[in-house]
Structure 1
């Protein structure tokens, strides 16, 4: 399920399409976005492209907490990306873009946050 909604929001999937503590990949305006649903219902979205390898894999990474940061670990080189900000904890110059994300009824929606 994808589609454009009001005010720049794009519907990407149903809330039940994301197993808690995992991510899914969505294509939004030609860009791959990794969307994560935490066990408590919190949603996060960052770019899906791993800046170290160039592979579209961040949605498949393991989520967890590292030093107070909610992170996803890249499946390839194991860098940790903060799910709230997109910051790479090991190498800040490799940070990814964080997207705005919300639940709209049973639908998950994302939009590009201002830079």
Structure 2
């Protein structure tokens, strides 16, 4: 059985500053959307280490070439590619497909 993502328009792409994130509600879930140069990433906004919905306000950077966001609470780093926490291997967050279509950021739900 094949499933396809349903896309939800989040905001105009120009509203997301480079190397920054925004929060959006997608299918009842808080999602953090990040723009890193010409690449886009989306993962859960929920920080499992602090229990707060704050990852969209995290510090965007890289770890050995991998794009990451550091939680603004305890500074744990999460891969923007996989959602894996680099500082607490037993923790991770869901990732979502993201695209820009006609200048609008869209997030898919699996």
Whole-Å Cα distance in 2 between the matches of residues 44 and 7 of structure 1? Answer: 15
**CA displacement at 1:53 relative to structure 2:** 1.1
More strand per residue: 2
1:25 aligns with 2:36: no
Alignment gaps of 5+ in structure 2: none
Structure 1: 4+ residue segments shifted above 4 A: none
Whole-Å Cα distance in 2 between the matches of residues 42 and 25 of structure 1? Answer: 17
* 1:112 match: 109
Q: 1:99 aligns with which of 58, 79, 96?
A: 96
* 1:14 match: 12
* 1:35 match: 33
Alignment gaps of 5+ in structure 1: 1-5
1:70 aligns with 2:64: no
RMSD between aligned residues: 1.3
**CA displacement at 1:7 relative to structure 2:** 4.9
Q: Which has the higher contact order (CA 8 A, sep 6+)?
A: 2
TM-score normalised over the length of structure 1: 0.88
**CA displacement at 1:105 relative to structure 2:** 1.1
**CA displacement at 1:107 relative to structure 2:** 0.3
Whole-Å Cα distance in 1 between the matches of residues 51 and 7 of structure 2? Answer: 26
How many residue pairs get aligned? The number is 107
Whole-Å Cα distance in 1 between the matches of residues 82 and 5 of structure 2? Answer: 22
**CA displacement at 1:67 relative to structure 2:** 1.8
